[in-house]
């Protein structure tokens, strides 16, 4: 379970996150959606421990991301927006490297890599160096290394960004499988259809604040609108075209 409580973060004079609070439950898919530059990636970065808040807390399975960093890191698997692969390492070496950093080794690690290879359909390129990989292949490598230690909490930042239809569909199936396995899934996207197709709970972020949150049914009741895209537009009205608040954020 992931809890974000009254999170504040500024970069210089730019307020990127202003009092964000929400909860992502186990066995649910929570979708964080917002226009480009709304602060979605910044919120996720606090949860996965690479940013420290100015104030507020983020908890993963009850552990504070700032004070108990290692405990949190052991419980999360993250697909960051920038996949960040090593072009001279093979896909298998990527997964093995991250597995070793999680303390996995030997046959157990190799077996886990084989499992992930089959799950993510990586057989054709697992032993190729990642230079020149397609976006879909890059995403699969990044996802495989994020899942190597079988994390209970899975954070996916724009998981289908730049992927073709078939691969996007495969990702969605995988995300549903995580939910079925009882994992807590936190998904960030700027595409409403994607979040609508997957999320049990939706958190709409705009200008670093939460504009609206709840189950799709709760959002419909609150706004009186049926279509989730209309709800998103209403919640972020006048904010969607704001410039990015943080470089590298989307």
**Rounded to an integer, what distance in angstroms lies between the CA atom of residue 140 and that of residue 117?**
9
Question: Should residue 97 be labelled a site residue for another protein when binding is judged by CB under 8 A?
Answer: yes
* Member of 6, 14, 52, 55 binding another protein (CB under 8 A): 52
Question: Should residue 7 be labelled a site residue for another protein when binding is judged by CB under 8 A?
Answer: no
CA dihedral 62, 63, 66, 67 (to 10 degrees): 130
Question: Should residue 83 be labelled a site residue for another protein when binding is judged by CB under 8 A?
Answer: yes
CB crowding 56-90: b at 16 or more within 10 Å, else e: bbbbbbebebbeeeeebbbbbbbbbbebebeeebb
* Size of site (CB under 8 A) for another protein: 35
DSSP-derived 3-state class of residue 19: strand
DSSP label at 90? B
Report the residue count for the chain: 250
Question: Should residue 87 be labelled a site residue for another protein when binding is judged by CB under 8 A?
Answer: yes
Give the range of 19-27, 53-61, 93-101, 171-179 binding another protein by CB under 8 A. 93-101
Q: Which one, 29 or 85, has the nearer CB to another protein?
A: 85
* Member of 12, 13, 84, 173 binding another protein (CB under 8 A): 84
Question: Should residue 202 be labelled a site residue for another protein when binding is judged by CB under 8 A?
Answer: no
Question: Should residue 146 be labelled a site residue for another protein when binding is judged by CB under 8 A?
Answer: yes
| Residues 177-196, interacting with another protein (CB under 8 A) | none
Alpha helices in 68-128 (DSSP H): 69-75, 91-101, 106-119
Smallest gap from residue 45 Cβ to another protein (A): 8
Question: Should residue 116 be labelled a site residue for another protein when binding is judged by CB under 8 A?
Answer: no
Q: Which one, 100 or 121, has the nearer CB to another protein?
A: 100
Residues 6+ apart with CB under 8 A from 182: 26, 27
Question: Should residue 1 be labelled a site residue for another protein when binding is judged by CB under 8 A?
Answer: no
**Rounded to an integer, what distance in angstroms lies between the CA atom of residue 171 and that of residue 107?**
27
Q: Which one, 150 or 229, has the nearer CB to another protein?
A: 150
Comparing CA positions, the residue from 67, 84, 60 lying closest to residue 151 is 60
| Sheet of strand 55-60, all strands in order from the earlier edge strand to the far edge | 14-24, 2-11, 55-60, 63-64
Give the range of 14-22, 98-106, 118-126, 190-198 binding another protein by CB under 8 A. 98-106
**Contact positions vs another protein (CB under 8 A):** 45, 48-52, 69-70, 73-74, 76, 78, 80, 82-89, 93, 97-98, 100-103, 105, 129, 142, 145-146, 247-248
């Amino acid at each position: 379970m992931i809890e974000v409580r009254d999170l504040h973060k500024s970069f210089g004079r730019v307020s990127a996150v202003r009092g964000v609070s929400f909860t992502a439950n186990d066995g649910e898919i929570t979708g964080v959606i917002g226009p480009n530059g709304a602060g979605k990636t910044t919120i996720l970065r606090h949860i996965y421990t690479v940013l420290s808040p100015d104030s507020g807390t983020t908890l993963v399975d009850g552990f504070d991301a700032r004070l108990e960093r290692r405990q949190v890191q052991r419980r999360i698997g993250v697909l960051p927006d920038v996949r960040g692969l090593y072009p001279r390492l093979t896909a298998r070496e990527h997964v093995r490297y991250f597995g070793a950093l999680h303390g996995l080794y030997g046959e157990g690690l190799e077996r886990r890599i084989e499992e992930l290879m089959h799950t993510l359909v990586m057989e054709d390129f697992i032993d190729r160096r990642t230079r020149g990989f397609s976006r879909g292949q890059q995403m699969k490598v990044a996802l495989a290394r994020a899942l190597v230690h079988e994390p209970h909490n899975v954070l996916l930042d724009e998981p289908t960004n730049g992927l073709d239809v078939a691969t996007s569909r495969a990702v969605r199936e995988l995300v549903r499988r995580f939910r079925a396995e009882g994992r807590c899934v936190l998904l960030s996207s700027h595409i409403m259809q994607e979040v609508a197709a997957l999320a049990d709970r939706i958190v709409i972020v705009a200008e670093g604040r939460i504009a609206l949150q709840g189950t799709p049914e709760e959002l419909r009741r609150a706004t009186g609108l049926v279509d989730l895209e209309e709800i998103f537009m209403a919640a972020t009205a006048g904010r969607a075209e704001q410039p990015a608040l943080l470089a590298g954020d989307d």
